[in-house]
Structure 1
């Protein structure tokens, strides 16, 4: 079979802290004399659940423990660089790395310096590695909507069209917290700046959350959105909207949204003409990276190489990558598909 790591693709759903290698977290913990939870050391990878508040709390506790090991500029730069290198090894040509600069502001002098460090390293690594890196600024649902507006204005000041710029604005964390419509003004700030609007919805909550997000925010993409298949009417709304879904199969399984890989509704979504970009979400906690999502589609859901190539095309066209990068990636996807397999030779 053709290697999925050689398939050109874009990566549109990867969180900053969650992108870390487990070895990096352990190195940083040793650097600062921090004690990590067993789930990040001898008990790795962690057993997780997002089905209820208790399960989400455990997930968030591990996430916060990892984030607490990121304390200076060199740590921020290391995470950006390693994310780009790991993506490059898996065929990613374009990475939109999601970051909430609020999380790192206390260590580097504020949210502006935190974002500027990430952007500067994204620009530097894009000059040196095959993967071009841009940034999505992500607000948190557990904070006040006015905080989201502050971040949206910061994102707007750094808006651009290539690597080392902000290309999108989103919102993440526990879907069960906050009212989506309360964050609409922040997304309007981002829209006026020309940023892609990429909120999370429809993983921990059902189709009503997807519908509310479509109405309140009018997004370009939705992070996850898989629960929309539970209501045919909402699924049609997604299809009619032209919104792309960032589907993260291994995340869905790790958090208990689905009990088996065969239940991930990837094929149903595609059959309704909805663009899809596969993403790894939080490799640190889920123990899987970008190529693993394509392997799951192939082995558990029976996707052919033609269908995998179509997924890769969807990731590229749903991205904010520059036109010339998209064109080259799409041509190389066709070349991947034209490469004979051992069976063809």
Structure 2
């Protein structure tokens, strides 16, 4: 068997990870036991969530996510999630983590939106110092809530905007792509842009190219959460590439949410061949049981990416990140060193 380089040692950036979804399964079970909470059977058996790509499937996904989120009810647990996410990333070669959070759900437990966000930012700073993984925070509004709530979050995010670890670096829009009217969230994104934040809404996973067209037109993203369905419209894909909009592609999510039947069906190679800037992400490893390293392994095993092509994916993740120029330069140099090292793993 051909020897290959260890992907856990490949320096990379992780740009698509949700806060509660980053929780370790073992932590979930521990919290459920402590709090006397009952979880669905699959959440305790090590089986990844797999649902159809319809409203019924999304309901099951959201219900599972909400059950986990209900256990995040203290400052200590919030800090633990950030710390463990960075520790897990460090083991997989990630040097930069941009974690996404809607503080609304956690606010009642810690005194409000502002304290919730400040706890997350403070722990991101501490974790950066102690793990060596730079942790930036993206504040995300939800499509299932009133667009006025998104404006509130955008103002809050802008107040804490900055380009250092432990500061708010971006503003997103997540949850069910079929919910809400994209254009109604445009005012929130204008607030975020004026506040100096990078715009990173979701789009193009559950819904196809028409939805991506709406998101690009109305929200003017710098990066697109998912965007994998752009493979169905080469002309629109070219426009997105020409606009220098990076794609946060999360293969395990695509399969778990029923968008594609298998990892081999995810059009990763097609997007890369077209010239898209792709940053692989784990999305919600708590439910999908597939972390960042697994996405790179899938690119290798399911799509035949060579070590050189895998290094290109890592380079793209660094370019698309919101890390400082110095950090990006160092990571690119380390990626080159990885590729120039001798293959050792079969």
Task: Give 1:312's aligned residue.
Answer: 314
Task: Give 2:67's aligned residue.
Answer: 65
Task: Give 1:22's aligned residue.
Answer: 25
Residues in 2 aligned to 1:342 and 1:251: alpha-carbon distance in whole angstroms: 30
Give the C-alpha shift of residue 267 in structure 1: 1.4
**Deviations 1:143-167 (CA, angstroms, capped at 9, x unpaired):** 0000000000000011011110000
Query: Any stretches of 5+ residues in structure 2 without a counterpart?
Result: none
Structure 2 residue aligned with 1:267, among 255, 269, 284? 269
Query: Any stretches of 5+ residues in structure 1 without a counterpart?
Result: none
Task: Give 2:258's aligned residue.
Answer: 256
Of structures 1 and 2, the one scoring higher in RCO (CA 8 A, sep 6+) is: 2
Residues in 1 aligned to 2:333 and 2:164: alpha-carbon distance in whole angstroms: 19
Length-normalised TM-score, structure 2? 0.97
Give the C-alpha shift of residue 300 in structure 1: 0.4
Task: Give 1:224's aligned residue.
Answer: 226
Structure 1 residue aligned with 2:93, among 88, 91, 94? 91
Which segments of structure 1 move beyond 3 Å, counting only runs of 4 or more? none
Give the C-alpha shift of residue 31 in structure 1: 2.0
Q: How does 1:1-345 map to 2 (within 5 A)?
A: 1-42=4-45, 44-342=46-344
RMSD: 1.2
Q: Contact conserved, 1:48 with 1:58, CA < 8 A, in 2?
A: no
Q: How many residues align?
A: 343
Give the C-alpha shift of residue 342 in structure 1: 3.9
SS in 2 for 1:151: helix
Between 1:171-180 and 1:22-31, the stretch displaced more is 22-31
**Deviations 1:81-107 (CA, angstroms, capped at 9, x unpaired):** 000000000000110000000010111
Q: Contact conserved, 1:50 with 1:59, CA < 8 A, in 2?
A: no
Give the C-alpha shift of residue 204 in structure 1: 0.1
Q: Contact conserved, 1:6 with 1:90, CA < 8 A, in 2?
A: yes
SS in 2 for 1:176: coil
Give the C-alpha shift of residue 18 in structure 1: 0.3
Give the C-alpha shift of residue 312 in structure 1: 0.3
Q: Contact conserved, 1:50 with 1:204, CA < 8 A, in 2?
A: no
Give the C-alpha shift of residue 343 in structure 1: 8.9
